[in-house]
Amino acid sequence: MASRDRTIENLIERLNRLPGVGPKTAERLAFHLLRVEQQEALELAQAIEAVRKAVKNCSVCFQLDASDPCSVCSDDTREHNMLLVVEDPREVARFEDIGYRGVYHVLQGRLSQIEGVKPEDLTIEQLLKRVADGSFREVCLATNPDLEGEGTAMVLAEKLHKSGVSLTRLARGLPAGSSIAQVSSSILSDAIEGRRPLS
């Protein structure tokens, strides 16, 4: 091991930091990148560089976009009084696919005791500020239907309650423990159609 080139070790170590990539997979990916045509490997590096330079968090809703405010926030044809609160930008893409026409607030994660994610690690402060402006007729808490997603929705509901805004949650049709990023479009459409009020 000690004799292996330091630049290769560095690549393996960086790949190992990616979610879901263990040391074995990191090693396999690194050697794959050394085996393919140089051009192909360099194009991957360039794609990472290009996307990181071009794409930023929208300063209003915190989703990822090349422009700020993002293409959703700056679209006048959308319903700017309907707010959908999601955990990740990935979920924005899912709701866009099913034709949702309101706007979003991306929390950038969810509260988690196990992972040590606290309210100040998310964009909760910014959400409360947006809602306090009073321009929303409805705020739908579309966090995932699992333990941490439900817990996050409860904390948000508590914090948003005094704003007087109408709070809803996605319909129970979403299988418990599933993730919004993975359910079918028809289930997701039903879930947003049948959203229920939170008291």
Question: What is the contact surface with Zn ion in residues (CB under 5 A)?
Answer: 58, 60-61, 70, 73
We find the least distance from the C-beta atom of residue 184 to Zn ion, in angstroms, to be 26
- Other C-beta atoms closer than 10 Å to the C-beta of 9 total 14
Is the Cβ of residue 139 or residue 174 nearer to Zn ion in the bound state?
139
Quick check: helix, strand or coil at residue 103? strand
We find the least distance from the C-beta atom of residue 190 to Zn ion, in angstroms, to be 26
Please report, as a single letter, which amino acid is at residue 189.
S
Quick check: helix, strand or coil at residue 117? strand
Give the C-alpha distances (Å, rounded to integers) separating 107 from 20, 121, 128, 142: 22, 9, 11, 10
We find the least distance from the C-beta atom of residue 124 to Zn ion, in angstroms, to be 17
Is the Cβ of residue 123 or residue 168 nearer to Zn ion in the bound state?
123
Is the Cβ of residue 73 or residue 188 nearer to Zn ion in the bound state?
73
We find the least distance from the C-beta atom of residue 70 to Zn ion, in angstroms, to be 3
Is the Cβ of residue 63 or residue 144 nearer to Zn ion in the bound state?
63
Tell me how many helices (H) and strands (E) the chain has: 7, 7
| Dist CA 65 CA 57 (whole Å) | 6
Q: Which residue in 66, 144, 142, 132 sits closest to 104, CA to CA?
A: 142
Cβ(100)–Cβ(82) below 8 Å: no
Is the Cβ of residue 27 or residue 62 nearer to Zn ion in the bound state?
62
We find the least distance from the C-beta atom of residue 198 to Zn ion, in angstroms, to be 24
